[in-house]
Amino acid sequence: MTNISSDVIRGYNDTMILYLLLNGPSYGYEISKQIKALSGEKYIIKETTLYSAFTRMEKNGYIESFQDASEIGKKRTYYRITDTGRTYYREKCDEWQLTKEVVEVFIHKKPDLPGTMTDA
Amino acid sequence: MTNISSDVIRGYNDTMILYLLLNGPSYGYEISKQIKALSGEKYIIKETTLYSAFTRMEKNGYIESFQDASEIGKKRTYYRITDTGRTYYREKCDEWQLTKEVVEVFIHKKPDLPGTMTDA
DNA sequence: TTGTCGTACTACGTCTGACGTAGTATAAAA
DNA sequence: TTTTATACTACGTCAGACGTAGTACGACAA
């Protein structure tokens, strides 16, 4: 079973989180569930990774935290994306296209044909 | 200008090097030039990154080093890919396909259409 | 002859993002 | 009342990338 290694996703966790915040403010637990669902259970972000991403991105000005006053139950920290964050997100999207192009030069596609690449 | 960040390529430097070694043994300087050329000058691997990748991969049994006896001028360390390395390479190719699928869920493609995504 | 350029490395230290482990705390459900 | 799900924080470790620096040899020019 092939798994996504953290080294690959590294640097794109922030992008995934920002993508979800484009649709409006959200908070940790919800975002982690959305990442899991949208990735088809293929990627599950670790809690520590997620929360440290929030801290980092707020420090960088990509997101802003706030408390929802009209909250009944548990207190949550919500985050909303800033304009700087939106710009950063778009840059990461461009970067991704470039990276993909480059990496794929060095990648053999899965054959989908029998008898290829088995040996020799 | 969009640049490829090291965090993205991280974990795929090894894969690129192995890809080049599939065609036969090679050495540091040549590989770095090939990466530059094949990527269309878009990615230039740092010397330290390259040589530490060699060390790591040899330790992991993905490559083997040797000296070319029939060498005239400068002594070089050549590397050849092992069977373990070939297997690892194929796994990384599979992983890449999976990663790409997942990441692209969270990526907006460049519109190529005017008037989209400018604001709200 | 001296100097510079290209080639071919090694050594060492730093940074960053991911993540393991652990602990806290509250609301809801059993 | 105890568990389960939610919602975090703290702290430390690890690995890969990379900055800086230095060594060394061959070729070629001035």
What confidence tens digit (pLDDT) does each residue in A54-111 have?
A: 999 999 999 999 987 655 667 899 999 999 999 999 999 999 999 999 999 999 876 5
Residue B72 pLDDT greater than 70, yes or no: no
Distances, alpha carbon B18 to alpha carbons A13, A56, B53, B82, B86, in Å: 27, 34, 10, 10, 8
Secondary structure class of B65 (helix, strand, coil):
strand
The predicted pLDDT at position B109 comes to 78
Residue A65 within a domain: yes
Residue B114 within a domain: no
Residue A111 within a domain: no
CA–CA gap between residue A58 and residue A56 (Å, rounded)? 6
Residue B113 within a domain: no
CA of A41 to C1' of C15 (A): 32
> What is the domain-level CATH number for residue B64?
1.10.10.10
pTM of the model: 0.87
CA of A91 to C1' of D7 (A): 31
Residue B115 within a domain: no
- Segment B13-26, tens digit of pLDDT: 999 999 999 999 99
Residue A112 within a domain: no
The nt closest to B73 (CA vs C1′) is D26
Asked if B79 contacts B64 with a C-beta cutoff of 8 angstroms, the reply is yes
Cβ contacts of A12 on chain B, cutoff 8 Å: 8, 103, 106
Domain of A66, in residue numbers: 6-104
CA–CA gap between residue A73 and residue A66 (Å, rounded)? 16
The predicted pLDDT at position B85 comes to 97
Residue A87 within a domain: yes
Residue A100 within a domain: yes
Distances, alpha carbon A105 to alpha carbons A28, B6, B35, B39, B114, in Å: 36, 17, 9, 7, 30
Q: Where are the alpha helices (DSSP H) in chain B?
A: 6-9, 13-21, 28-38, 47-59, 83-105
Window from A11-15, A50-54, A99-103, B71-75 with minimum mean pLDDT: B71-75
Provide the number of structural domains found in chain B: 1
Residues of chain B (23-62) having a beta carbon less than 7 angstroms from strand D: 45-49, 52-53, 56
Looking at residue B10, the DSSP 8-state letter turns out to be T
Of B120 and B30, the one with more pLDDT: B30
